[in-house]
Structure 1
C-alpha cells in the first residue's frame, strides 16, 4: 500500500511539474539579491526576527474539564492565568549562493518556558535560480495549508484538530525536495509580506521522506514516512488570489502506551490524504481543508488500540477591514475531527466539534490583539480515562509582538 501510494505521488508530481514549468519563502531572495549576498562573509548575511504570544483563557469559562493539550496547555484544568504560548527567535540567511539557513528555537515550549528547537534546516539550491531545492534537517512536513502557515500569521489561536493531528508541532527531521518557478516563489513571498496570511514558500511541488515519530523525539523504528504535496496560487485578472492544494503521506508509527495495559500492538501503519482551497481575504476570504485516512485509535470498549478510520477538517471565513491606521479581521471557523491522536497516550480517541468567532486587531506591524469566543464539544479517551466527553464555552485572548 505504502509503495503504491509513493508511486502515485511521484507519477502525479512529474505531470504537475511538466504543466507548471510552462507557466510563467517567506524570506525568498531574487537571483540578483543572492549575488549581492555572497559577496559578504557568511556571518554578515545572517538576520534575526521573531515574535512572542501571551494568552489568557480564563474569561467566561463554563467547564474547567474541557481541555486541548495539543492546542494550549493553559486551557482548562486547575491552572490557567497568563501564559506564554510562543517566544520565537528566528535566525536566517543566505550563507552561500546555493545555501539558505533557517534556525528557530522556541523559549516557551510546552508552557514551561524552556527552550526547544522548532526548525533547524538548510536549503540547498540545485540550480542557479534555486527553483529546485533540497531542504535538509528539521522542518515542517508539507501536509496542509494551515499546518505550514506560521502561527505568527494564522488568524485563529490554534490549528484545527483535523489536519494538525497528522504531525504534532507540524515538524520532523528529514529531506524534502521543493520545486517552484521563480515567478511563483515571488508570489508565495508576497502572500505573506502583504499581510494576506499566506503559508510561505513550500514549493508548487513538495516531496520528502522523514522519520515519522515527529519533531524532537527519537525515531522508534527503521521505517521512514513518505509525503507529497502539490499546490498552486492563481492570480485572477481582478488581483484576487486563489490557491488549491492536494497532499498525502504514509508510514508506520510507534504509539506511547500505558505500561499497565497489555496491548498486542504498538506499531501501526498510517496514511492520510486531502485537499485544501484558499480564497485570500481581499477583503472576503474563505479557507477550507479536509483529510481522510487510517491510523491507531484507542477503543474504550475493548481497552485496546486498533487501526481505525480518520476524518476531519475545517472551514474558516474572514473579512479584512483596513482603516487609515489599523487592520481588523473578524473571523469565524468550524472544525471537526473523528480519529485518534497517535502521539498522545494510547493514541487517544478524539471526537471534536468546535465553533469559534473572533477578531484580530492589528494596531501596527509590531503589535496585534486577538479575541476569540470558543464553543466546544470534545471527547478525548484513553486507558486512563475511557469515558470522557466535555462541553463548554470560553473567551480566549492573545497579545502578539512581532519584531
Structure 2
C-alpha cells in the first residue's frame, strides 16, 4: 500500500502541465496574490474563530435519551451550560504554492481541554492552485454536512447516517483536490455569502488516510481510500444547486472487550452515497443518503459482526430578512440503521429523529439557535444490550463569530 501511495503522488505531480518550469511570481493569477507572496510568511497568517455555548435542559422528557457523539451535555446528569466548541483558526498563504491551516478546539471532549482538529498545508501543483495536495490532518471528503463547518450548519449536530463514517469528520492523510478557478470562487461565495456552503474541497477529491479517525493512533497497516465528485450548478435565475457522489473503503480496528484470543477486531468497511443541495435563495433543500457495510454489535449473538448499514436525512430551510435581522427556520428528519465503529463494541444504532428549529442572526458576529428535537434512539453494546430510548427536548445554542 505504501508503494501505491508513492505512485499516486508522483503521478499527480508529473501530470501537472509544466509544473516545474513555471516562474513562481509571474505565474500568479492576481495582483493580490503577488502582494501576499512578497510579504514575510508571518505577516500572511490570519486569525479567526467561533465559540458555541449550549443548554439542553428545557422540556426534557427522558434523561436516558442521549447521543454522546452529538453532544455530551445531552441527557443523564449533564444538564447545564456547556461549551460545545471554542475554535481558533490560524491560516495563511505562506508561499505562492503553500497554504497552511491549523485549528485547535479549546473545548474538546466536554471538559474544556485543547485538542487539534485540523493541521494541514495545501501544496499547489499549478500556478492557479486548481490542482492541490492537502497533507496533514483534515476533513475526509465524505458527505456535504460532514464537510460543512459547524459554524455554518443549521442543526446543532450532524446526522448519524453519514457522520458515523468518520469520528470528528477528520483523519491524517494525503488528499488530492481539483477544481477550476471559477468553481473554487463559487465554493467560497457559498460560504462567505452566508448560504451555508460546505467550503472548497474540490470538484473532485481523492484521498488516502489512516482510517482510525483523527487524534487516534493507526491500528493496522491498511490505508482507507476515499473519493468524492461534486458540482455546484448556477442556473440562469442565479439559483445554485449542488450534486455530489462520494465513497470510501478500508479496514477498521474496533474497540471491544476481548473475550477470547480469536475475537475479531479488524473489519472491512465501505460506504457510498449521493448528496443534493439546493441553496436557500430564499428556500433551500438538502438530502443525503449512504449505504454500506461495517462492524455492528449483535445483541442476540453478543458479538460484533459484519453487517449492512444505511442512513441519511432531508432538510428544508428558508432565509427571511427583517431589516438587519436574519431568521432561518429549518426542519430536518434523519435516520440511521447500523453500527458506530468508533464506539465500544461498534455499538448498534437505530435512529429516527425529527428536529424543528430557527436560527436568528442580528448581525454576522452573533447567532442564536433554538431547536426542538423529537427522538427515538436505540444504542446497544455488550455493556447495555437492550437499550431503546424515546423522548423530546428543547435545545439552545449561542454562537459568537470573530
The equivalent residue for 2:157 is 158
2:264 counterpart SS class: coil
Separation in 2, partners of 1:191, 1:372: 24
CA contact (8 A) 1:263 1:305 kept: no
CA distance in 1, matches of 2:130, 2:299: 49
Q: 1: distance between equivalents of 2:270 and 2:372?
A: 33
Within 2, Cα distance between the matches of 1:33 and 1:150?
A: 26
Distance in 1 (alpha carbons) for counterparts of 2:166 and 2:245: 17
Which residue in 1 is equivalent to 2:208?
209
Alignment-derived partner of residue 298 in structure 2: 299
Contact 1:273 1:291 in 2 (8 A): yes
User: Residue in 2 aligned with 1:325?
Assistant: 324
Alignment match, 1:136? 135
Shift of 1:261: 6.9
Offset, 1:34: 1.9
Provide Cα deviations, 1:152-177, integer angstroms capped at 9, x if missing partner. Answer: 00000000000000000000000000
1:127-166, CA deviations, whole angstroms, 9 ceiling, x for partnerless residues?
0000000000000000000000000000000000000000
Structure 1 partner of 2:92:
93
Partner secondary structure for residue 219 of structure 1: coil
Q: TM-score, normalised by structure 2?
A: 0.92
State the match for 2:10 in structure 1. none
Match of 1:186 in 2: 185
1:14-69: CA deviations, max 9, x gaps?
xxxxxxxxxxxxxxx96432221001000000000000000000000000000000
Q: Corresponding residue for 2:384?
A: 385
Deviations 1:182-216 (A, max 9, x none): 00000000000000000000000000000000000
Which residue number in structure 2 is paired with residue 11 of structure 1?
none
Please give the secondary structure, in 1, of the residue aligned with 2:38: coil
Q: Which runs of 5+ in 2 are unaligned?
A: 6-27
Q: Provide closer, same or farther for how the CA distance between residues 326 and 263 of structure 1 changes in structure 2, counting only shifts above 3 A.
A: farther
- Cross-structure match for 1:68: 67
CA RMSD of aligned residues (A): 1.5
C-alpha distance in 1 between matches for 2:210 and 2:50: 28
Q: Quote the residue 2:47 is aligned against.
A: 48
Q: Which runs of 5+ in 1 are unaligned?
A: 7-28
Q: Distance in 1 between matches of 2:284 and 2:147?
A: 18
1:395 aligns with 2:394: yes
1:164-179 to structure 2, matched below 5 A, reads 164-179=163-178
The correspondence of residues 343-382 of structure 1 with structure 2, limited to 5 A, is 343-382=342-381
| Pair 1:261–1:110, CA change in 2 (3 A) | farther
Whole-Å separation in 1 of the counterparts to 2:187 and 2:71: 29
Q: Secondary structure at the match of 1:391?
A: strand
- SS of 1:220 mapped into structure 2: coil
Residues 72 and 78, structure 2, Cα contact 8 Å, conserved in 1: no
1:286 is displaced (CA, Å) by: 0.3
Q: Distance in 1 between matches of 2:35 and 2:142?
A: 34
SS of 2:237's equivalent in the other structure is coil
- Count how many residue pairs are aligned between Structure 1 and Structure 2: 378
Within 1, Cα distance between the matches of 2:299 and 2:262? 13
SS of equivalent to 2:328? strand
- Matching of residue 252 in structure 1 with residue 251 in structure 2: yes
